[in-house]
């Protein structure tokens, strides 16, 4: 029996759609079944599942896990985390795959799924294979287990061990009411930064501004705060804290191409002749 699910939500790099229209408890369970089946047929057994602060993410976590478990795959629930922590869990816990439930930088009425097989993100035809499994109702059957792990402290320690700063930097951080606030302020304080927090309380309704720091109007409050506090730097984060926007000490935005040059110079200093790739 063919399942009714909008094929347009299966995008190039993730699954994403409107809550209660494209994504429901039923469709999310089907997505869980397809992911569990895909991982199982690729030799896997265990997945981590993390989720963001949107109102729909917790119920979608439950239905997604129900679907995954029904294929015989086990799930490690890592809780409400930023996307970088979800990817860290793949290295730290060494599961066979993972899912991050997040609408990323999109408005609150959207949600979605970023999926990994091993350490590699699913994209392209692999995403379409999930759709085909749902369309053909071709799922593995089993009874997987659910466990919970908190990897936030391990994530902070891992970065602390690898990142050293020569002096304390005064920085304003705009969490955009996204997932950054779950771990970001604590992490930056741990590495020695003097931080001023702006909108770091997770709130999936995004009451202050849209959580996309690549759009100028979403950076205005950060720019103003940097100048008011005479900070050296301002960093804005998107909803799941996997993209940033930067303002300098004058409150001026540094766009992606400028940031690429800054990063490239530092990389080339330590790795002469390295290839630097930038997207346009």
Residue positions annotated with a catalytic role: 104
**Contact predicate 109/19, CB 8 Å:** yes
Alpha helices, DSSP H, located in 136-255: 152-162, 180-190, 220-229
Strands 46-51 and 146-148 turn out to be unpaired
Three-state secondary structure call for residue 209: coil
Residue 94's contacts (CB-CB under 8 Å, 6 or more residues apart) are none
Helix, strand or coil, per DSSP, at residue 113: strand
DSSP state of 230: T
Asked whether 241 and 178 are in contact (CB, 8 A), the reply is: yes
């Amino acid at each position: 029996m063919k399942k009714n699910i909008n094929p347009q939500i299966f995008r190039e790099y993730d699954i994403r759609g409107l809550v209660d229209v494209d994504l429901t408890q039923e469709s999310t369970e089907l997505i869980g079944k397809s992911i569990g089946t895909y991982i199982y047929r690729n030799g896997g057994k265990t997945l981590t599942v993390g989720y963001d602060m949107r109102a729909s993410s917790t119920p979608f976590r439950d239905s997604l896990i129900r679907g995954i478990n029904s294929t015989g795959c086990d799930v490690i629930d890592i809780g409400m985390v930023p996307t970088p922590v979800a990817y860290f869990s793949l290295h730290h816990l060494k599961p066979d795959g993972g899912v991050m439930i997040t609408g990323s930088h999109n408005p609150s009425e959207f949600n979605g799924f970023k999926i990994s097989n091993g350490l590699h993100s699913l994209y392209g035809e692999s995403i379409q294979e999930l759709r085909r499994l749902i369309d053909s109702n071709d799922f593995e059957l089993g009874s997987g287990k659910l466990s919970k792990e908190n990897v936030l402290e391990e994530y902070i320690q891992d970065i602390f061990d690898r990142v050293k700063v020569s002096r304390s930097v005064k920085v304003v951080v705009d969490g955009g009411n996204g997932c950054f606030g779950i771990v970001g302020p604590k992490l930056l304080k741990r590495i020695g930064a003097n931080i001023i927090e702006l909108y770091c309380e997770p709130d999936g309704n995004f009451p202050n501004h849209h959580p996309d720091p690549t759009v100028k109007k979403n950076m205005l409050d950060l720019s103003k705060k940097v100048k008011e506090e005479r900070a050296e730097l301002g960093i804005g984060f998107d909803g799941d804290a996997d993209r940033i926007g930067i303002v300098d000490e004058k409150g001026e935005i540094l766009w992606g191409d400028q940031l690429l040059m800054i990063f490239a110079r530092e990389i080339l200093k330590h790795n002469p002749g390295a290839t630097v790739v930038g997207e346009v």
